[in-house]
Structure 1
Amino acid sequence: MKAQQQVFPSLASYNQALNDLGARRIGHRVLAISAAGTPSFTGRQAKREGSWHSHHRGQLMCVKDGLLHVRTTHGSWAVPPGRAAWVPPGVPHAVNSNGVSHSWHLYLSPAASRPMPPRPCVIEVNPLIEDIVPRAVLWTAQERLDAAQGRLMAVLIDELASAPHDRMQLPIPRDRRLLRIATAILDNPADTRTRDEWAAWAGLSSRTLTRLFQEEVRISFAQWREQAALMAAVDRLAHGESVASVADALGYATPSGFIAMFRRHFGEPPARYFASQ
């Protein structure tokens, strides 16, 4: 007999269910949960900020609308619809959501997590994954899976492990001076200060800023600033702002310059990228 999909009476009860699944040491290799039907998710919500935590199981988070921001000690990720954030078992993380009304989460046992990437990342969610997840949501942690369900779970794990990685990653520097600069840029990606001006503001030389950024985050300061602008752009575009408005807010002289930057990172212009979600 199939289990009925749970409806959670409140956001707090849903969050508790997430924590319970993440901590579960017995049960299926993959446990699934969806926020569909939860009263707190029936409309687009204001921003919600989560606290730092970790799970015994690996966690995969996907939203159908709005945007997730996932923070770990490795960096920050923007997760638009059609993508999923992967956090391996035991990795501390915090999740902020903006405008999310429907999401699903998968919790993979440590054994099922082994084929997955060893570090946090964002993966693309293909139609097969989207088809299997609603079925997995119906499988309670206590029930025994039949042969067909077991095969579906194996396919799901294989699809997740082979899914392409998204490039929407923003590594966070640890040096306190670089972190000060990074935080200020994230607060205002349109800030037009030059590298020399940022270095002077943080109390280090321009050469030291360049060297430390390359050492700590493995990309140049200019590349990091562009990634920060891209994260801000995805957030705004996911909430319905026009390309022209986003380009202007991020300091681009024309929309074409912003579109070129977006295409360089994602291989397609914003309209096509979001249409595919």
Structure 2
Amino acid sequence: MKQEVRKVVARRESAPRSERYPDYQDVPRVMTVLVRDQATGEYNEPHVHRHGQLLYASNGVMRVATERGLWILPPKRALWIPPGMIHDQLMLSAVKMRSIYIEPQVCAGLGDHCKVLEIPGLLRELILALADQPIEYPQEGRNAHIVALILSELQAARTLPIEVPWPVDRRLVTVCEAILQDPGQDHSIGYWADRVGASSRTLIRLFVNETGLNFRHWLQQVRLATAIDRLDKGQSVGVIARDLGYASQSAFSAMFRRVMGESPREFLVRD
């Protein structure tokens, strides 16, 4: 009898960890971590969670979109997604995803809108430590401290202003998708208006009404998000500035400092 019990336990412990969210949504824990590896180009169709979600990849880069925003997430960043927010994901490289799901009554203090958070070394190690535990991990002792520390670190995490607001109007979507494919192009609003069969005045109005930003400010957000991704990949500031259409490295650095509060090099050193 004891031998049979040991065999059952052994089989249970060796069973692969589920990669399906439905297997996590009713787990009686304040916080759980989904562990899943995905290949370049894999796409997770629009979906929604009853939990709050910290969407994080310990390796790789993904693009996340909601109906009204878009974010590019390299490994040192995570996206906070409040409960009930429809979103999708596109893997821009091979990704080791470590998504944290948090019960709604516990995560209210993290906000009701999506935002990009920095993941410093301590928070990263805490996430990976919880990911090493079973889905229904023991709640006392070390694990209780890990969960409490993750919540505390999330509250203190730095928010990065790298959201790219996304429009609904089909003409503006066409323009935004084209720019996203090549952020370094420097066409005027008149050029894009001709491309989509609208007047410049109409396109100017649509940008402000649908994204909350004027055309140049929206373009800057795309370039900033792209730049942070490339800095994380080790590309030089000079190459990034050139590829993103800036007249000089100093012009790019000035924009970066104005928005982020520090130069690209300072950002990398602190990171």
Count of paired positions: 262
Cα distance 1:147–1:237, how it changes in 2: closer, same or farther (>3 A)? closer
Instruction: Please give the alpha-carbon distance, in whole angstroms, between the structure 2 residues aligned to 1:7 and 1:220.
Output: 55
Instruction: Please give the alpha-carbon distance, in whole angstroms, between the structure 2 residues aligned to 1:233 and 1:143.
Output: 39
Mark the structure with the bigger radius of gyration: 2
For 1:3, the equivalent position in structure 2 comes to none
1:69 aligns to what SS in structure 2?
A: strand
For 1:76, the equivalent position in structure 2 comes to 70
Instruction: Please give the alpha-carbon distance, in whole angstroms, between the structure 1 residues aligned to 2:20 and 2:250.
Output: 42
CA RMSD of aligned residues (A): 3.0
Q: How far did 1:102 drift?
A: 4.0
For 1:118, the equivalent position in structure 2 comes to 112
* Conserved? CA contact 2:34–2:98, under 8 Å: yes
For 2:28, the equivalent position in structure 1 comes to 27
Q: TM-score under structure 1 normalisation? A: 0.82
| Structure 2 gap ranges (5+) | 1-11
For 1:109, the equivalent position in structure 2 comes to 103
1:92 to 2:86 alignment: yes
For 1:239, the equivalent position in structure 2 comes to 233
* Conserved? CA contact 2:21–2:34, under 8 Å: no
1:17 to 2:11 alignment: no
Instruction: Please give the alpha-carbon distance, in whole angstroms, between the structure 2 residues aligned to 1:85 and 1:60.
Output: 6
| Structure 1 gap ranges (5+) | 1-5
Cα distance 1:149–1:64, how it changes in 2: closer, same or farther (>3 A)? closer
Cα distance 1:222–1:120, how it changes in 2: closer, same or farther (>3 A)? same
Instruction: Please give the alpha-carbon distance, in whole angstroms, between the structure 2 residues aligned to 1:237 and 1:112.
Output: 34
* Conserved? CA contact 2:62–2:95, under 8 Å: no
Instruction: Please give the alpha-carbon distance, in whole angstroms, between the structure 2 residues aligned to 1:258 and 1:214.
Output: 24
Q: TM-score under structure 2 normalisation? A: 0.83
Cα distance 1:8–1:18, how it changes in 2: closer, same or farther (>3 A)? farther
Q: How far did 1:101 drift?
A: 5.1
For 2:5, the equivalent position in structure 1 comes to none
2:21 counterpart letter in structure 1? N
Cα distance 1:259–1:82, how it changes in 2: closer, same or farther (>3 A)? same
1:257 counterpart letter in structure 2? A
Q: How far did 1:141 drift?
A: 3.3
1:252 to 2:246 alignment: yes
Using the aligned pairs only, state the percent identity.
29
* Conserved? CA contact 1:199–1:205, under 8 Å: yes
* Conserved? CA contact 1:48–1:96, under 8 Å: yes
* Conserved? CA contact 2:49–2:85, under 8 Å: yes
The 5 A counterparts of 1:149-164 are 149-164=143-158
Q: How far did 1:254 drift?
A: 1.8
* Conserved? CA contact 1:76–1:169, under 8 Å: yes
Instruction: Please give the alpha-carbon distance, in whole angstroms, between the structure 1 residues aligned to 2:186 and 2:13.
Output: 48
Which stretch of the first structure deviates more once superposed, 171-180 or 24-33? 24-33
